[in-house]
Structure 1
Amino acid sequence: MNAPDFFKPWIKKRKLVLWVALFLILLSGIIQFGLYALNQNYVVSHFGAQPEDITLSLQLTYVGILAILPIQFRFLRYFERRSYMITVITISILLSIASLYTTDIFVFMVLRLLIGIEVACIAGSILTLYFASLPPDKATAIGSTIFYTTILGNVVVVGILSAWVTDNYDWPNIYKYLTGYQVFTLLLVLLLLKPKTGMKRYPLYQIDWFSFVAMLTFGISLAYTFIYGPKFYWFTDQRIVTSGFIAFMSIGIIYYRQTTLKRPYLHPGVFKSKQFIAGLLLLVVYFGIKDSINLIYGYCATVVRWDTYKIMRLAALNFSGTLIFTIVSLVVLAKKLPFRVLFIPGLTLLAIYHIWMYSIFTTDMSFSDLAWPVFLQGAASGMLFFPIIVFTVSGLPAYVGFTGISMATISRFITGLNSFAGFYTLQLYFNQMNKERFLRNLTNLNDNFSQRFNQFVQLFRSKGFGIDQANALAHTNINRALTVQSQLMTNMYVFKLMFIISVTVLLMVIVAPYVNRFFQFLFTPKNRPAIR
């Protein structure tokens, strides 16, 4: 049977126009995921919520994605692509309109969960359309490069646009622009796709909706546990105990069902592949290490107080490194070179980036100070993200379907939560340790402290404040400086720890083939000594 014919005749010979149009449709879904990732303060003030509430709303989008991902590929084999895309984009428009008018944070969280489901449906559909529009021998490589680079770079692109909107209008108005863009992509779908494709339809029977609900439950409860755990002192709080228990029971139910069903939600056969397990572990480490870039963005916003546009320019520089070296990775993989050719320099760049940041952290770093390290981090991501994904899923048999991609998405979700909670907890620990160390020196016997304190007092007295007010303001400024210094030293400790992890993983990647050969030699029967 011939492959489905998705595209109208007029667009088939205009490949570049087709790929750009597909990219624009893909962007309409992806940008919803990171819509306010780099400017959450606007959302916090709009809803009057806590920062943790906004972080949870972001992660709920991820929960929707990872829950629907194993199922939505079944949808693509049953529904005609044009009608499917029209339905999904129409739903996304309705969700954007609802997000525009909601003022309740809990309603907004529900909408974000539904948006995650819709984002996965758009992204998965466009990915398969890319595969259909490219030559078979290049479809996976080029299509996946466009897809994953868009995922990595969407936060930067959306951040720049949303910063402009929020600087000129109230934050919810961003959904007006998003709705207009979604209507535009709906027109693109009508122009590009044929109503009937001649595809062979596979019935939607034995879909494991129970596991879908269990995955939603697992994702929501795990996100709550990791995001609010540090704030509520983890399992000393009954809420965290309950959410942790629900997450544990949900993942147990999911695992049990996958081992007993004929058509599982996630095929357990993926864990029979050593290459998949190794790739998944490498992916987890990479995601955990790369998230240290958020410490730099936080430093720029809170310590040196850059405006949003300047932070976005720094993020754009990071993305440029990702884009350039993702293309380099594509060329390397096309030449069938070993994955280690990319893994080793990628991990090396990550290690250099972390030790560089550890070495230069001060209270007044400029854009030029941060430019090269941030670019190196992007270059490392370009050399690691897509190659690790390919390495992870390339060794899987065909019968496991898209479980490899789904597991990679789940690993990103869990690692992201772990990074948030881990960095939060590390900062609490190191901040407290640094403050106690500093406070031991803040006495009248310390000449530096006394001199600095007297300078502040004289400064405020010269501005007309009384002696008591000047003393109080001097203490406030000393405390602010103490907090900034504690945070800077905490960031340095985190970068040092990430450097150690990067070097450790790098050494493991370097020696792994030799260790593997040694054990193969040792346990090969012909190499065993004869028993006399």
Structure 2
Amino acid sequence: MQQANSLVEYGSRRVIITITAILCALLEIVDSTIVNVALNDMRGNLGATMTEVGWVITAYAIGNVIVVPMTSWLSQQFGRSNYFAASIILFTVCSFLCGNANGILELVIFRFLQGVGGGALLVTSQTIITESYPVEKRGMAQAIYGLGVIIGPTLGPPLGGYITDNFSWPFIFYINIPIGIIATLLTLQFVRSPKYGEKSAAKDVDWAGIGLLALAVGSLQFVLERGQDEDWFESLSITVCAVLAVFGFFFFIWRELTFRNPIVELRVLKNGNLRVGTILSFILGFGLYGSTFIVPLYTQSTLGWTATQSGMLMIPAALTTAFMMPIIGQLLQRGVPQQYLVALGMLLFFAYSFWGYKIITPDTSKDAFFWMLIVRGIGMGMLFIPITTLSLSTLKGQQIGQGAAFTGMMRQLGGSFGVATITTFLARQNMTHRNDLVSKLDINNPLVQQRVAGMQHSFMNKGISPERALESGYKSLDYMVTKQAAVLSYMDAFLYLGVMFLICIPFVLMVKGNKGNKINPAEAMH
């Protein structure tokens, strides 16, 4: 009992540790979305193609996802505070190197290494916060941590847009440097490491497990990030990586269950709450990153907004989530069952998606999005903390770190699956809707001829010759069809995303809560 409780902090120490952990979580998450709006500038500056510059996002995600499942083991090997500080230093140094990169290859390599440093920040900061609070206040601890995780992806695009518009893209990376230095100093001074057992000798290190994990997760992430650009299984590289991912996971699971000193302790998944929590974390990642991706994409590509305008649109929803977090933490502390809050959060997420489906047009106004995104903000607040506390509530000691690694990895993978699925879905639906609309435009139809003639006259009034005006009329008609097809595709994406969350609600309500529905200190700490 004493051992498990020895990491609980009080007073100003706890405040400082919490701030340090949130700073690090924010650093990592903001960085995963901040570059999205600067890709065009990078491409022009470094003389790269759009496919090459896409690797700036892919490399970071691969580095991130590979290291997340290993964080618990690495903390044990080197001591948590040392490993955490080393990860912040790696992240900060690579941020400087990314800003100074002279070519696309350099930038991609440094982004990968930055992702390796960043993966540890997210999961370890969650473990540090969880263990710094007494068990009965864990709901509040997760609320505080959740602020960083939910607000991060939303802050990235407007911050990136502002920096790119007013300075230049390297400053996107340079802003990490002062925060990284402060976080490193605070970590070395205040964060304590739990007393683990013996370190693994070099011969006991699960090198094969590390290799298989990197191969499996790296290949899967590559398939998800690049699949749509390379036309999925029409591409040899995507097919090879998909096969590597399947076999990599198969042999990795076999290795971890048979090796005496595994790099990832899969047996912790025997805990029923953690199993449910990892699945829910995947769905949460799918919804969180998917919806953070789809709204700016629609406003920029269809409505013609700037990156900064699209980013600013998301801020009220993020603030709503921030406002909700402490309230949800309090409700959990008072014994409201986690599964009820998750179910309500999913229902609100369905309401947000259905609302999106109803309001999207080729010229939706900015005001139309406001309340819809506020509903999303409330729903996200109700999903994040209850899912995390449900996952970690009956774990003890070292298992908390292992559990946090699983939920963290599943949230990241859920996000990658979400973005990949939505991108592919939009492209396929766009083709379907376009073909459908074109098939209805019979050139011999008097109404169509009337419309084209009207546009031809409009162009002729601007001094354009009749032949050119007719050509411009047909081009305008084609543009309208393209735009309408895009809008219908976004409507479908919103609807299906909402239905996915709606279908999950009955399954969430079937989950058994903890005894008395409160987090039971004895159960979590014996």
User: The TM-score by the shorter chain falls in which range?
Assistant: 0.7 to 0.9
Partner in structure 2 of residue 60 of structure 1: 59
Aligned to 1:233: 231
Q: Which residue of 1 aligns with 2:285?
A: 287
- The separation in 2 between residues aligned to 1:90 and 1:183, in whole angstroms, is 8
- Using a 3 Å threshold, how does the CA distance of structure 1 residues 351 and 462 change in structure 2: closer, same or farther? same
| 1:202–1:294 CA distance, 2 compared to 1 (3 A) | same
**Which residue number corresponds to residue 108 of structure 1?**
107
Distance 1:408 1:177, change over 3 A: closer
Equivalent in the alignment of 2:257 = 259
Give the aligned partner of residue 517 of structure 1.
none
**Which residue in 2 is equivalent to 1:529?**
none
Higher relative contact order (CA 8 A, sep 6+): 2
Identify the residue that residue 152 of structure 1 maps to in structure 2: 150
Aligned to 1:506: 505
Partner amino acid for 1:295? Answer: I
**1:209 equivalent in alignment to 2:207:** yes
By how many angstroms is 1:39 displaced? Answer: 4.8
**Structure 1 residue 355: Cα displacement:** 1.4
Q: Which amino acid in 2 is paired with 1:169?
A: F
Whether contact under 8 Å (2:325, 2:381) holds in the other structure is yes
Distance verdict in 2 for CA 1:179–1:397, change over 3 Å: closer
Q: Deviations over 1:468-526 (max 9, x none)?
A: 3222222222222111100111111222222332322224444677xxxxxxxxxxxxx
- Judging changes above 3 Å, is the alpha-carbon distance between structure 1 residues 209 and 109 closer, same or farther for their aligned structure 2 residues? farther
Residue in structure 1 matched with residue 319 of structure 2 by the alignment: 320
Q: CA 1:364 to 1:106, structure 2 compared with 1: closer, same or farther past 3 Å?
A: same
Q: Residue 412 of structure 2 aligns with which residue?
A: 413
Give the CA RMSD over aligned residues: 3.2
Partner of 1:174 in structure 2?
172
CA deviation profile, 1:283-320 (whole Å, cap 9, x unmatched): 33333344134222111111222223322222112212
The residue that corresponds to 1:221 in the other structure is 219
In 2 relative to 1, CA 88–4 (structure 1 residues): closer, same or farther, beyond 3 Å?
farther
* Residues 47 and 425 of structure 1: CA distance in aligned 2, closer, same or farther (over 3 Å): same
Distance 1:137 1:238, change over 3 A: closer
Amino acid across the alignment from 1:434: H
1:501, 1:199 → 2: CA distance? 43
Instruction: Mark the CA change 1:232 to 1:84 in structure 2 (over 3 Å): closer, same or farther.
Output: closer
Compared with structure 1, are the counterparts of its residues 374 and 213 closer, same or farther at alpha carbon in structure 2 (3 Å cutoff)?
A: same
Q: Which moved more, 1:247-256 or 1:116-125?
A: 116-125
- Distance, in Å, in 2 between the alignment partners of 1:167 and 1:321 is 27
Counterpart mapping for 1:17-416 below 5 A:
19-20=18-19, 22-51=21-50, 53-77=52-76, 79=78, 84=83, 86-131=85-130, 134-138=132-136, 140-189=138-187, 192-193=189-190, 202-205=198-201, 206-290=204-288, 291-396=290-395, 400=399, 402-416=401-415
- For residue 443 of structure 1, give the secondary structure of its aligned residue in structure 2: coil
What SS class does the counterpart of residue 35 from structure 2 fall into?
A: coil
Q: Distance in 2 between matches of 1:315 and 1:345?
A: 22
Give a deviation string over 1:127-174, Cα, whole Å, max 9, x none.
Answer: 455456x54235633333222320221133333332222112221233
Q: Deviations over 1:307-353 (max 9, x none)?
A: 23322222112212322232232122111222232022112111111
1:280–1:408: 8 Å Cα contact kept in structure 2? Answer: yes
Deviation at 1:198, TM superposition (A): 10
Partners in 2 of 1:181 and 1:198 — Cα distance? 25
AA aligned to 2:92 is: I
Residue 79 (structure 1) shift:
4.3
2: CA distance between counterparts of 1:337 and 1:326? Answer: 14
CA distance in 2, matches of 1:27, 1:399: 24
- Give, in angstroms, the shift of residue 38 of structure 1: 4.8
Instruction: Report the TM-score when normalising by structure 1.
Output: 0.84
Contact 2:138–2:389 under 8 Å retained in 1: no
With over 3 angstroms needed to count, the CA separation of the structure-2 counterparts of 1:52 and 1:143, relative to structure 1, is farther
Change over 3 Å in CA distance of 1:160–1:494 after alignment to 2: closer
Of 38-47 and 377-386, the range deviating more from structure 2: 38-47
Provide the rounded CA distance (Å) in 2 between the counterparts of 1:202 and 1:123: 25
Residue type at the aligned position of 2:331:
V
Q: What's the counterpart of residue 521 of structure 2?
A: none
Indicate if the aligned counterparts of 1:165 and 1:173 stay in contact, CA closer than 8 A.
Answer: yes
Q: Secondary structure at the match of 1:34?
A: helix
Matched to 1:151, the amino acid is V
- Name the counterpart of 1:523: none
TM-score (norm 2): 0.85
Q: Which has the larger radius of gyration?
A: 1
Structure 1 residue 280: Cα displacement: 2.9
Q: CA-to-partner distance for each residue in 1:238-281, whole Å, 9 max, x for gaps?
A: 22221112212211221111111122222232343444333333
Tell whether the 8 Å contact from 2:127 to 2:404 is kept in structure 1 after alignment.
no
* C-alpha distance in 2 between matches for 1:177 and 1:207: 37
Aligned residues of 1:284 and 1:411 also touching (Cα < 8 A): yes
Q: How many angstroms does 1:227 deviate by?
A: 2.9
Moved more, 308-317 or 349-358: 308-317
Please say if residues 4 and 199 of structure 1, whose CA atoms lie closer than 8 Å, have aligned partners that are also in contact: no
Equivalent residues of 1:21, 1:188 under 8 A apart: yes
- 1:203 maps to a residue whose letter is K
Taking the aligned partners of 2:400 and 2:20, their CA distance within structure 1 comes to 28
Q: Structure 2: how far apart are the matches of 1:72 and 1:215?
A: 13
Deviates more, 1:92-101 or 1:377-386: 92-101
- Are the equivalent residues in 1 in contact too, given 2:163–2:172 (CA < 8 A)? yes
Contact 1:71 1:207 in 2 (8 A): no
Contact 1:60–1:220 at 8 Å: present in 2 too? no
SS in 2 for 1:440: helix
Aligned residue type for 1:286: L
Residue 221 of structure 1: how far off its partner (Å) = 1.6
The answer to whether the 8 A contact 1:88-1:122 is kept is yes
215-224 or 66-75, larger mean C-alpha shift: 66-75
- Rate the CA distance shift 1:87–1:336 in 2: closer, same or farther, 3 A: same
Are residues 88 and 295 of structure 1, via their aligned partners in 2, closer, same or farther at CA, if it must alter by over 3 Å? Answer: closer
Structure 2 gap segments, 5+ residues each: 513-526
Alignment pair present for 1:456 and 2:455? yes
